[in-house]
Chain A
C-alpha cells in the first residue's frame, strides 16, 4: 500500500484531469446564493436548488451581468477540485435564466449607471438635422432593418448609410455590437450619427442591449447615437445611454431624417417670404423715389416763386427809384427855375450892371460908366449924353 500512495497534489491533479476529460464543460442552472466579490477581482457564489449546492468561481472581468442572491442563472463552467480540497465550478459564462432574473439584473445595472451619471440628460447630444452619412449597426436579417430602410426612403433623399452586420441576440451579440461601435468610432469624422436597432423579442432576446459592455461602448461613442431596441414598451439600457432614444426602429428612422414634404413646405415658405420682402423693398424704394421727386418739385416751385418775388421786388424797387429820381429831378428843376434870375425879370424886376457887374448901390456908379439895365425882353444901356443908337429896338440909350 505504501508504494501505491500518491501525494495529495497528485490526487487533485488526477481528479481534475479526469473531471476535465469527463466534463470539459457543463451547463448548470440554479439560484445564486452567497454572492461575494473579493479584492474587486474574484467572484464567489453558490448555485443551489431545493436539495443541493455547488460553489462557483469567476473573475469580475468574465462576469458580464449583474448578479445577486436569489437570481436564477445558467452557468457554462468546468468542474474543478481546488488545492484546498473544495469542489467548485470555474465559470466561463453566465446567462440569466427567467424573466425575474433578467429584470433584476437590469435594475441593478441601471441603478449602477444612473449613479455614475451615464444617463444624465445634460450629456445628451442632438443629432444633426440633415445627416449625410450614418452608421447602422444591426442585423440585416431582422425585420427592423427593412422597416428602418423603408421609412428612411419614404421620408428623405440623399443619405449614405453604412451598415455593419452583427448578431442582435445570443452570447456573441454584445461583443460584436461593441466591436462595431469601436470600428465606427475609429472613423468617427465620417459619420453624422450612429444608429443601433433591433426589433421586438423576449427579455432574454434583448439582453445584449442591457449588457455593461454594450452600454459603456454606446456611452463612449464620439458619434451621436440613436438606439431603438424592441417594441415601444421595451426599455433597454443601451437606449437610455444613447443620445437619442427611439421607441422602435421605424421611430429611429423618423427621428434620424427630416420629412421631405416638411422641408419642401419650409423652402416654399422661405421663397414666398423672400418674394414678398423684395416686393415690399421695391415698393418702399418706389415710394422713396416718388417722395424724392416730389421734394425736388417742391424745391423747384419754391425757387420759381422766390425768383418771381425777387424779380417783382427788384422791378418795384427800380420803379420807386426811377420815380423818386424823377420827382427829385422835378423838384430840382423847379428849384432851379425858381432861382433863375430871368424868372424875376418876368415879374417886372430888372438887373442893373455896370461893366457886366451887378450893382446894388449908387455908390458903385462912377461918372462916365455905362449902366446896362437887364429887362425880361431886353436891355437898356444908359450912357453919358451923346452916345448910343436910338434905332436899336432892343436897347434904349438914354443920355443923362
Chain B
C-alpha cells in the first residue's frame, strides 16, 4: 500500500471531527439559518457515512514478512 491510501480510505477521524465542528457551530449563538440548514445536511451525510462504514467496512489482516 502506498501513501495515497490516505486519500482513498474513509477517515473516521476526519469525518467525526467535521461532524463535531458542525454540531459546535449549530450549538453556537448567532447562527445564520441558511448556513445552519446547509451544515445540518452535511452533518447528516457524515453521520450516515460513519454509520455505514461501522457496519460494512472490514478489517484486513495480512502477513507481509516472515522470519520462520
Contacts and interface: CB of A to CB of B under 8 A. Distances in A.
Interface residues of B, number: 43
Interface in B4-49: 5-6, 9-13, 16, 19-20, 22-23, 26-27, 31, 33, 36-37, 40, 43-44, 47
Contacts of B66: 164-165
A159 B5 CA distance: 12
B47 A270 contact: yes
A132 B11 contact: yes
Contact of A179 (B33, B55, B60, B67): B67
A264 interface: yes
A264 B50 CA distance: 8
A156 B59 contact: yes
A183 B63 CA distance: 14
A264 B54 contact: yes
A274 interface: yes
B67 to A, nearest CB: 4
A132 B6 CA distance: 9
Given A158-B58, A267-B19, A140 B63 contact: yes
Given A157-B54, A166-B67, A277-B23, 17 more contacts: A133-B5, A140-B63, A157-B55, A157-B59, A162-B62, A162-B64, A165-B65, A165-B67, A165-B68, A176-B67, A180-B67, A264-B51, A268-B47, A270-B23, A274-B26, A278-B36, A282-B33
Interface of A: 128-130, 132-133, 136, 139-140, 149, 152-153, 156-167, 172, 176, 179-180, 183, 189-190, 260, 263-264, 266-268, 270-271, 273-275, 277-278, 281-282, 285
Q: Which 10 A-B pairs have the closest CB atoms?
A: A158-B57, A277-B26, A165-B66, A130-B12, A157-B57, A176-B67, A161-B61, A163-B63, A130-B13, A164-B65
